[in-house]
């Protein structure tokens, strides 16, 4: 769809970062947007900044299927339909497989994989009705791994392959499915990791070019908006991420691993020590969200 075709877009994880900025961009292009998040305060602040009745903020936990179904129903009630869904909600954990808190590892998988399933399950009926588009926010991490981020790596690979399966299931019903793959973006998620872990900052600086570069949220949002309006099969930001995806077998080969293996013995133990000193395996923001009333609801996976 082009700029002249008004869409109704549902974005999960819409309180800040890519989700919030994408909502602003899409409303500016004449679309109507619903944003969901656990952080009620930040969610309503984002809606207030947008300052339009074209945005609908909804507190919902992607780990709770019933909450996502209720959110989808509210979007249809308010705007009449859903044309596009952006499954954007996601978190990361800190530390090696032996250093990360197991409960936090599980939480990453719950939000980043199960949350995508719940979002799809809740919105597919509306997308079938509209002949819509479902965009799964995966990552460059689906193509190449980083030490100390195993949960995030695994979850984003899972999200990509979920999109591949969903695409096959929905094509005959007129629904297109895409997956988005970004390198390091200057979002609150990446900012939090950099702030909490000096070892992460050093690891990022020692990755081979261009894997050591961070891209602006604005560039990412522009790529997402284009992908939504063109219903793209894949969205890449920056564009070179596509090349990594096409050559993932080489990147993950023994030869491709050599640059990273040079610093893992030094940096990974430091990362685990920093995580232990923090007393948490994720950002303080994520810990606070996990304690919110919306997150306290027992997930309904029926």
Q: Model confidence over 18-69: pLDDT tens digits?
A: 999 999 999 999 999 999 999 999 999 999 999 999 999 999 999 999 999 9
Q: Say if 211 falls within a structural domain.
A: yes
Residues 26, 49: Cα–Cα separation, whole Å: 14
Full domain range(s) for residue 197: 8-296
Average per-residue pLDDT in the chain? Answer: 94
Q: Say if 276 falls within a structural domain.
A: yes
Q: What share of the chain in percent tops pLDDT 70?
A: 95
Q: What share of the chain in percent tops pLDDT 90?
A: 91
Q: How many domains is the chain built from?
A: 1
Q: Say if 2 falls within a structural domain.
A: no
* Contact by Cβ (8 Å): 256, 250: yes
> Does pLDDT of 302 surpass 60?
no
- Mean pLDDT score, 197-223: 94
Q: Say if 224 falls within a structural domain.
A: yes
> Does pLDDT of 296 surpass 80?
no
* Contact by Cβ (8 Å): 81, 8: yes
Give counts: helices (H), strands (E), the chain: 14, 9
Q: Say if 39 falls within a structural domain.
A: yes
**What pLDDT shows up at residue 289?**
81
Q: Say if 131 falls within a structural domain.
A: yes
Q: Say if 1 falls within a structural domain.
A: no
Q: Model confidence over 247-260: pLDDT tens digits?
A: 999 999 999 999 99
List phi, psi (to 5°) of 29.
-90, 5
* Contact by Cβ (8 Å): 76, 68: no
Q: Hey, which residues are catalytic here?
A: 152
Q: Which of 138, 140, 134 is nearest to 119 (CA)?
A: 134
* Contact by Cβ (8 Å): 86, 35: no
Residues 196, 68: Cα–Cα separation, whole Å: 31
Q: Say if 282 falls within a structural domain.
A: yes
CATH number of the CATH domain containing 74: 3.40.50.720
What's the pLDDT band for 188 if we cut at 50, 70, 90? confident
**What pLDDT shows up at residue 243?**
97
Q: Model confidence over 74-94: pLDDT tens digits?
A: 999 999 999 999 999 999 999
- Mean pLDDT score, 135-156: 98
- Mean pLDDT score, 180-199: 94
């Amino acid at each position: 769809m082009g700029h002249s075709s008004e869409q109704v877009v549902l974005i999960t994880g819409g309180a800040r970062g890519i989700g919030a900025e994408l909502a602003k961009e899409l409303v500016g292009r004449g679309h109507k947007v619903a944003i969901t998040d656990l952080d009620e305060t930040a969610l309503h602040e984002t809606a207030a900044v947008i300052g339009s009745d074209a945005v609908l903020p909804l507190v919902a936990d992607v780990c709770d299927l019933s909450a996502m179904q209720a959110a989808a129903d509210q979007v249809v009630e308010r705007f009449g339909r859903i044309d596009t869904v952006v499954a954007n909600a996601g978190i990361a954990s800190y530390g090696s497989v032996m250093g990360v808190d197991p409960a936090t590892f599980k939480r990453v998988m719950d939000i980043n994989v199960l949350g995508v399933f719940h979002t799809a399950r809740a919105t597919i009926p509306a997308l079938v009705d509209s002949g819509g588009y479902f965009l799964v926010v995966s990552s460059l991490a689906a193509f190449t791994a980083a030490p100390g981020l195993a949960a995030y790596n695994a979850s984003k690979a899972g999200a990509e392959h979920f999109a591949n399966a969903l695409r096959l299931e929905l094509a005959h019903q007129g629904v297109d499915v895409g997956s988005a793959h970004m390198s390091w973006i200057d979002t609150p998620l990446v900012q939090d990791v950099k702030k909490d872990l000096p070892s992460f900052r050093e690891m990022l600086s020692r990755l081979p070019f261009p894997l050591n570069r961070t891209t602006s949220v604005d560039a990412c949002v522009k790529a997402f908006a284009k992908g939504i309006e063109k219903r793209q099969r894949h969205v890449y930001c920056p564009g070179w991420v596509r090349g990594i995806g096409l050559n993932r077998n080489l990147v993950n080969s023994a030869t491709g691993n050599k640059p990273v293996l040079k610093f893992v013995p030094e940096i990974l133990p430091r990362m685990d020590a920093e995580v232990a000193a923090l007393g948490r395996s994720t950002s303080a923001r994520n810990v606070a969200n996990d304690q919110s009333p919306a997150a306290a609801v027992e997930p309904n996976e029926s």
